[in-house]
Amino acid sequence: MENEKRYLIVGLGNAEQQYAGTRHNYGFEVANAVAKAFKATFTPGRLAYVARASFKGRELVIIMPTTYMNLSGKAVKHWLAEENVSLDHCLVIYDDIDLPLGVFKLKPKGGGGTHNGIGDIIETLGRTDIPRMRCGIGKNYAQGYQVDYVLSRFSSEELKLVEPCIERAVSAVKSFVTIGMQRTMNQFNTAETERAKSIAESNTEL
């Protein structure tokens, strides 16, 4: 029997220290910020670091998989079963080169695109109706240098866009667990789209 009050929040990244703070670990950054907002602490668990929190009568299980990114599905499948969480109560958070830096977008389902983490989760669960939050890192790299780019760290200038985006992402997670995906999308996606346009315009002016 699935627990209707329990939610699984998944931040994707690579657990090794060498990847800390890289663009590809954006999901970890948001998960850390969510845990911090609830004064929750991560401890080592099976296939993931795990933190637990309560919010408005909901139970949150926040995980950062310790598998490699392209094996994220193994951790998500385990914790969904371990905590009896329904898939519509799971939110996967990850970096996305197809969105501009400083914005995020919520989606209730879809393919994996070029992201190996969400791709493996879709393949492992055999479902595409996985709620997700795509956090934009942009694609400011020369052809053939995508791997180097996603494994690089944000500059101090870029962090001026990233840090407030993470704060808004935490608010979106709180909304997701209280009013659901559709209403949270209605509340946040339009504003993020407008923000993306504004960022694009300011970049054009530079």
Task: Output the CA torsion 109→111→112→114 (10° steps).
Answer: -130
pLDDT value of residue 2:
75
Count of domains observed in the chain: 1
Q: Tell me the pTM.
A: 0.96
The token pair at 162 is 């990233």
Contact 9, 173 (CB under 8 A): yes
Over the stretch 140-195, which tens digit does the pLDDT of each residue have? 999 999 999 999 999 999 999 999 999 999 999 999 999 999 999 999 999 999 99
Q: Which domain holds residue 195?
A: 6-205
Backbone φ and ψ of 174, nearest 5°: -60, -40
Q: What is the CATH number of the domain that holds 89?
A: 3.40.50.1470
Q: Pick the catalytic residue: 24, 78, 89, 115?
A: 24
pLDDT at 180: 97
Name the pLDDT band for 111 (thresholds 50, 70, 90).
very high
Our answer to whether residue 89 is catalytic in this structure is no
In a domain, 1, yes or no: no
- Region class of 76: left (phi > 0), else alpha (psi between -120 and 50), else beta: alpha
Please report the pLDDT score of residue 174 as a whole number.
98
In the predicted model, what is the mean pLDDT of residues 14-40?
A: 96
Residues near 40 by beta carbon (within 8 Å), at least 6 away in sequence: 51, 52, 53, 60, 62
Q: What percent of the chain stands above pLDDT 70?
A: 98
Residues comprising the chain, all counted: 206
Q: Is the pLDDT of residue 79 over 60?
A: yes
Identify the pLDDT of residue 3.
Answer: 83
